[in-house]
């Protein structure tokens, strides 16, 4: 038998259900891979005791499979709660916090038979696409340990790229499922907003911009995980059903709009755009037509709307930590900056930002009357040195905030549209990059089918599994 850790999650689960492989054997292999690789990369944190995990896997072997993830190990992004494990958010303010319950999507994963082995590392509060924090340290790129893996689902992407996991959860406000996927040669899917509902607590109506979603080494495994994580929650106002996840025959007749650098508005480091264009040319071999188009919306309006709504959301979420004497000195500078920016806003400024957002949604909907997907790179820079906090410039253009260099992620995030990050291959620097396909609201199934057609021609994760 070849290395089971290189198998797709679907194959692992099928083998366990058929009695061909035991959940205990898969767990043993998983823990051995983590022991071998993780000390050099720091992707998995808060790992549970080996004896406890092997006992749980053995118990899974002694009962009828409970669901499509039966016996599969999974580690949860350290922004979500997994009962009995710490939820540090990468912050000293929560370093000792142990979850008393599962987040909604984690409960769904467990109900489908997954075994939670620990957490995956994330930036503090998920802010910024570079996975480092004062609690667990930095997570390195599996293709170059001196470089960042991205974020905020960076630990998840690294665990997938190195075979420590076959599936992983993540979350995406500003590209956190897409940027690390592109930089680690795996797939990440930001679902249509509402398809993977958040835990029903707190405010749930105003300007949602973040969502949980799946990561994997194949579109088929994205679909497997989306089918478990997704589906309406009656206590949430914006639920949406999971679409048809049959991934066959999804490319013929499709039209894809290549947005390139948004008419020169988005600076890219050398080599990124050509690599993504080459990836789209490969996809075109399966039948889709790829057509360059002009910018459909004003870049400055998009950024103004995004940065306004993001800071407003962050001020509401993190503001109490800045106000509390016991936590105010434990926040990273970027978190303090977001809170301060958000607290300067008036209600009418927030409303104006939402009006811009609404107009962009309408414009995008018009584009999808002609095109099945819009395409952009997953990043504007190659993975940068781990000692940097964030890139201060991109291709000679100064960045005016810690997240401006991720501006290419805004079009999908602002409108709540589904987007899939696909590996685009490797640049001359030897580092991976991704290309994202953005679809209409509810178009997740079509995107997954396009990604599957591309994967059948490339399988970049299978070609370049990063077992360092």
Label residue 270 exposed, middle or buried (CB < 10 Å: 0-12, 13-18, 19+).
exposed
Predicted confidence band of residue 208 (pLDDT cuts 50, 70, 90): confident
For residue 46, tell me if it sits in a domain.
yes
For residue 468, tell me if it sits in a domain.
no
Residues 337-360, mean pLDDT to the nearest whole number: 98
Active site residue 204: no
Q: What is the CATH number of the domain that holds 288?
A: 3.90.1300.10
Q: Is the dihedral of CA 100, 101, 106, 109 positive or negative?
A: positive
Model's pTM, two decimal places? 0.98
> Nearest 10 degrees: CA dihedral of 284, 288, 294, 298?
-110
The answer, yes or no, to whether residue 464 has pLDDT greater than 90, is no
For residue 407, tell me if it sits in a domain.
yes
Residues 250-267, mean pLDDT to the nearest whole number: 95
The answer, yes or no, to whether residue 1 has pLDDT greater than 60, is no
User: How many C-alpha atoms does 306 have within 13 Å on its Cβ side?
Assistant: 26
Helix (H, G, I), strand (E, B) or coil at 327: coil
What is the CB neighbour count within 10 angstroms for residue 393?
A: 11
The answer, yes or no, to whether residue 468 has pLDDT greater than 80, is no
Residues 318-337, mean pLDDT to the nearest whole number: 97
Check 77, 103, 129, 153 and give the catalytic one: 77
Q: Choose among 222, 149, 137: nearest CA to 188.
A: 222
Q: How many domains does the chain have?
A: 1
Per-residue pLDDT tens for 13-63? 999 999 999 999 999 999 999 999 999 999 999 999 999 999 999 999 999
Active site residue 152: yes
Residues 268-280, mean pLDDT to the nearest whole number: 98
For residue 269, tell me if it sits in a domain.
yes
Residues 312-327, mean pLDDT to the nearest whole number: 97
Mean pLDDT of the chain, nearest integer: 97
Are 15 and 29 within 8 A, CB to CB? Answer: no
Residues 108-112, mean pLDDT to the nearest whole number: 98
Whole-number percent of the chain with pLDDT over 90 = 96
- Give the pairing of strands 397-398 and 289-292: unpaired
For residue 226, tell me if it sits in a domain.
yes
> Nearest 10 degrees: CA dihedral of 124, 130, 135, 139?
150
Question: Domain containing 107: what range?
Answer: 4-463
Check 176, 210, 305, 413 and give the catalytic one: 176
pLDDT given for residue 2 in this prediction: 61
Check 152, 153, 171, 210 and give the catalytic one: 152
pLDDT given for residue 57 in this prediction: 98
Residues 88-95, mean pLDDT to the nearest whole number: 96
pLDDT given for residue 60 in this prediction: 98
* Chain Cα centroid distance, residue 325: 33
Report how far residue 153's alpha carbon sits from residue 127's, in angstroms, rounded to the nearest whole number.
11
pLDDT given for residue 467 in this prediction: 67
pLDDT given for residue 207 in this prediction: 77
């Amino acid at each position: 038998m070849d290395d089971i850790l290189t198998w797709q999650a679907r194959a692992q689960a099928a083998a366990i259900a058929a009695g061909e492989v035991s959940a205990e054997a898969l767990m043993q292999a998983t823990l051995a891979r983590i022991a071998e690789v993780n000390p050099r990369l720091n992707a998995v944190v808060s790992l549970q005791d080996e004896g406890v995990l092997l006992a749980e896997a053995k118990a899974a072997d002694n009962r009828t499979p409970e669901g499509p993830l039966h016996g599969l190990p999974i580690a949860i992004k350290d922004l979500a709660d997994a009962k009995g494990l710490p939820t540090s958010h990468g912050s000293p303010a929560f370093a000792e916090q142990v979850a008393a319950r599962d987040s909604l999507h984690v409960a769904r994963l467990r109900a489908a038979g997954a075994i939670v082995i620990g957490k995956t590392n994330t930036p503090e509060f998920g802010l910024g696409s570079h996975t480092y924090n004062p609690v667990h340290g930095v997570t390195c790129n599996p293709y170059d340990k001196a470089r960042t893996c991205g974020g905020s689902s960076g630990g998840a992407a690294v665990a997938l790229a190195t075979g420590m996991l076959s599936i992983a959860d993540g979350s995406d406000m500003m590209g956190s499922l897409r940027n690390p996927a592109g930089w680690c040669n795996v797939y990440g899917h930001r679902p249509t907003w509402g398809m993977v509902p958040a835990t029903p607590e707190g405010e749930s109506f105003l300007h949602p911009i973040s969502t949980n979603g799946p990561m994997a080494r194949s579109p088929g495994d994205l679909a497997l995980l989306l089918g478990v994580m997704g589906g309406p929650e009656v206590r949430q106002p914006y639920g949406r059903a999971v679409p048809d996840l049959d991934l066959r025959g999804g490319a013929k007749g499709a039209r894809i709009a290549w947005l390139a650098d948004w008419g020169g508005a988005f600076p890219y480091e050398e080599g990124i755009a050509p690599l993504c264009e080459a990836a789209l040319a490969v996809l075109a071999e399966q039948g889709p037509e790829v057509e360059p188009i002009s910018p459909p919306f004003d870049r400055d309006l998009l950024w103004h709307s995004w940065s306004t709504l993001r800071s407003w959301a962050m001020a509401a979420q993190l503001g109490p930590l800045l106000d509390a004497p016991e936590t105010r000195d434990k926040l990273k500078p970027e978190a303090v900056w977001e809170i301060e920016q958000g607290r300067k806003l008036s209600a009418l400024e927030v409303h104006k930002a939402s009006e811009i957002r609404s107009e962009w949604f309408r414009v995008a909907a018009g584009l999808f009357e002609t095109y099945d997907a819009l395409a952009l790179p997953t990043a504007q820079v190659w993975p940068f040195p781990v000692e940097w906090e964030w890139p201060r410039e991109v291709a000679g253009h100064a960045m005016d905030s810690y997240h401006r260099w991720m501006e290419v992620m805004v079009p999908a995030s602002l409108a709540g549209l589904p987007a899939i990050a696909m590996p685009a291959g490797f640049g001359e620097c030897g580092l991976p990059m991704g290309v994202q396909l953005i679809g209409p609201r509810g178009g997740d199934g079509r995107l997954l089918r396009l990604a599957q057609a591309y994967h059948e021609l490339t399988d970049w994760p299978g070609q370049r599994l990063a077992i360092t």
